[in-house]
Amino acid sequence: MTGPTDRLPREDVTTVEIPRVPDDPTPEPAEETPTRRSGFWRELSGALAAGLLVLAVVVLAIQVVDQAQGMPGPGVLVVIAHFLCAACALALQRQADRRRGPQAGLMILLIGVVTGIAVWFFWWA
């Protein structure tokens, strides 16, 4: 009879030895991933791009509801233009998130321009 801490002999167990790495007094430094600061302008442009997409979906919903009730709604051209502006802004934001320096600044500026165009021509004018 064996006690609770004794192991029973098993014939189907295979033992594998794992090679040991010698202790090195100077361990290699782990790879550091560079941290990127987003910055106010990059975050603002991302919010504008996401807002344009939400706005495009809202305009589409209004068009569908109005058509279902027999009203003309904003129009197909307006819906398509909203989605084109949103797609353009999202593509620019993607590029801005992957670039640094003046290139990212230009993309962020263009997002502001696209947003301004969409708001000016379809909401204020």
Average pLDDT over residues 64-73: 93
- pLDDT per position as a tens digit, 2-37: 667 766 666 776 777 888 777 656 555 556 665 656
Query: Residue 19's pLDDT is what?
Result: 80
Query: Residue 15's pLDDT is what?
Result: 75
DSSP letters spanning the chain: ---TTSPPP-SS----PPPPPPP-SSPPPPPPPPP----HHHHHHHHHHHHHHHHHHHHHHHHHHHHHTT---S-HHHHHHHHHHHHHHHHHHHHHHH--THHHHHHHHHHHHHHHHHHIIIII-
Query: Residue 125's pLDDT is what?
Result: 75
